[in-house]
């Protein structure tokens, strides 16, 4: 089975890192140079955002690396949905669901995994206990699973049928 997941871009973490460095540089210049009081106060009010941007850039880049590793080296497999619970989170207006699944990979016995995911609107109705959905599994850490929504969308009758 082949995966249809696209690689993630590093543009977001790069923009965040550049913003963090610029904000920290602005603070440093305002502290060292003789600048008007208003600019100095502005630099102080912006001072926490430089480190925050750098930390968020690191976390987002780490996530992008994990996803790209799964896309490049992951094993295509099937998972059977066992439970679906809603969470209080949403991403881009889509409800984040906690999906309990049993994953079946060729060389491993079936094992349980829980993922948090914001599925595409048009595929949410297809998620139900007993449905079989395509996933990509990390060969080194089988607990890391990504649902392959693109492949699920292309299946003749949707996932699980």
Tell me the pLDDT tens digit for each residue of 51-71: 999 999 999 999 999 989 998
Does residue 64 sit in the same domain as residue 94?
no
Q: Does some domain include residue 160?
A: no
Does residue 64 sit in the same domain as residue 111?
no
Does residue 107 sit in the same domain as residue 57?
no
User: Which residues form the domain of 125?
Assistant: 74-154
Is the pLDDT at 2 greater than 60? The verdict is no
Q: Which helix (H) or strand (E) holds 82?
A: strand 75-91
CA-based radius of gyration for the chain: 21
Report long-range pairs for 36-39 (Cβ below 8 Å, ≥24 apart): none
Q: Does some domain include residue 136?
A: yes
Q: Does some domain include residue 41?
A: yes
Overall pTM > 0.75: no
Picking from 71, 90, 118, the residue at the C-terminal end of a domain is 71
Q: What is the pLDDT of residues 95-137, one digit of tens each?
A: 999 999 999 887 778 999 999 999 988 888 888 999 999 999 9
* pLDDT given at position 107: 74
Does residue 79 sit in the same domain as residue 149?
yes
Does residue 61 sit in the same domain as residue 119?
no
Q: What is the pLDDT of residues 69-94, one digit of tens each?
A: 998 989 899 999 999 999 999 888 89
For residues 32 and 142, give the distance between their C-alpha atoms in angstroms, rounded to a whole number.
51
Q: What is the pLDDT of residues 9-25, one digit of tens each?
A: 888 899 999 999 999 99
Does residue 88 sit in the same domain as residue 144?
yes
Does residue 27 sit in the same domain as residue 88?
no
Number of domains in the chain: 2
Q: Does some domain include residue 102?
A: yes
Does residue 66 sit in the same domain as residue 83?
no
């Amino acid at each position: 089975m082949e995966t249809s997941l696209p690689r993630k871009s590093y543009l977001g973490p790069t923009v965040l890192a550049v913003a963090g460095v610029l904000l920290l540089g602005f603070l440093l210049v305002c502290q060292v140079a003789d600048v008007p009081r208003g600019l100095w106060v502005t630099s102080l009010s912006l001072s926490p955002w430089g480190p925050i941007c750098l930390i968020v850039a690191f976390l987002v880049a780490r996530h992008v690396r994990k996803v790209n590793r799964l896309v490049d080296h992951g094993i295509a497999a099937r998972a059977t949905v066992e439970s679906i619970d809603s969470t209080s989170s949403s991403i881009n207006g889509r409800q984040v669901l906690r999906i309990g699944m049993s994953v079946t990979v060729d060389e491993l016995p079936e094992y349980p995994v829980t993922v948090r995911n914001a599925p595409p609107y048009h595929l949410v109705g297809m998620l139900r206990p007993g449905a079989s959905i395509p996933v990509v599994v990390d060969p080194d850490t089988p607990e890391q699973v990504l649902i392959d929504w693109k492949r699920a969308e292309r299946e003749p009758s949707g996932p699980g049928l």
